């Protein structure tokens, strides 16, 4: 992946995670962010999928899981 594309994807990941921080519905925030990217013709579906995959992986590591009963 060219360095410019990687930097752009990393910026999008960071931006999406910033929006999710402290939000009560981070998955809805991710969905909205991805829909914004899809409306931008400069983003390919492969790039958007990379953003989505990485953001969801990172969120799964930091979001509190409810205690098991």
Q: What is the mean pLDDT of each run of 10 residues along the chain (69 residues)?
A: 88 96 91 98 96 95 69
pLDDT at residue 23, rounded to an integer: 87
- Residue 1 confidence (pLDDT): 67
Domain boundaries, the chain: 3-62
What is the pLDDT, as a whole number, of residue 46?
95
Nearest to 20 by CA among 12, 30, 8: 30
User: Which two tokens mark 27?
Assistant: 């998955």
What is the pTM (predicted TM-score) of this model? 0.84
Amino acid 4: pLDDT: 87
Q: What is the per-residue pLDDT for 2?
A: 77
66: Cβ contacts below 8 Å, ≥ 6 apart: none
């Amino acid at each position: 992946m060219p360095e410019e594309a990687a930097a752009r994807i990393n910026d999008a990941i960071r931006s999406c995670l910033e929006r999710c921080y402290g939000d009560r519905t981070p998955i809805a925030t991710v969905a909205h962010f991805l829909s914004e990217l899809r409306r931008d013709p400069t983003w390919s579906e492969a790039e958007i999928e990379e953003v989505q995959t990485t953001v969801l992986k990172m969120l799964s590591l930091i979001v509190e899981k409810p205690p098991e009963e």
